[in-house]
Copies of this chain bind each other. A is one copy, B any other.
Amino acid sequence: MTAETIARLQRLVDRSPHNSWLGMHVVAADGDGVEIRVAWREEFISAPERRAVHGGVLAGLVDSGAVFAVMAAAESLAATVDLRVDYHAIPASAPMVVKGRLVRLGRSLSTAEGYVYDAENRLVASGRATVIVVKPKDAA
């Protein structure tokens, strides 16, 4: 199950220009959650003097953690309805790791969380999303 789910999610990453640009590599995925490793890009940087990662990059990672957790559990495609992100710290080291976990799986609408860590396992950003399952016929 798990290996199959990882492969399915990685295929979604690979066909997505933005997720490929983020360098996402799915390393774990089951009904409880996902873990995704992220490559580093200088274009992630917002304020160069502080080496801060841009809020949009971290939001995209939190979003991906949440959506992929729902897609792993629901065995279908899913899309984000809305997202909250809390910014905790500037990452001190790369690559970053994203963990996604379900808060509640619903038939149509689910709630899931994403947590972004730097390479020293320091929490950099976290948040939660309302995620809607997209039915198979809508999927490519």
Contact = CB atoms under 8 A, between A and B. Distances in A.
Interface in A71-113: 79-89, 103-104, 106, 109, 111
Contacts of A89: 104
Interface magnitude class on chain A: 35 or more
Assembly stoichiometry (copies): 4
Given A17-B45, A18-B45, A130-B130, A59 B86 contact: no
Nearest to A132: B109
Contact of A82 (B53, B57, B85): B85
B47 A54 contact: no
B43 A21 contact: yes
Interface stretch (A2-10, A25-33, A60-68): A60-68
Contacts of A121: none
B103 A126 contact: yes
B19 A81 contact: no
B88 A111 contact: yes
A88 B104 contact: yes
Interface of A: 15-22, 42-50, 52-57, 59-61, 63-64, 67, 79-89, 103-104, 106, 109, 111, 123, 126-128, 130, 132, 140
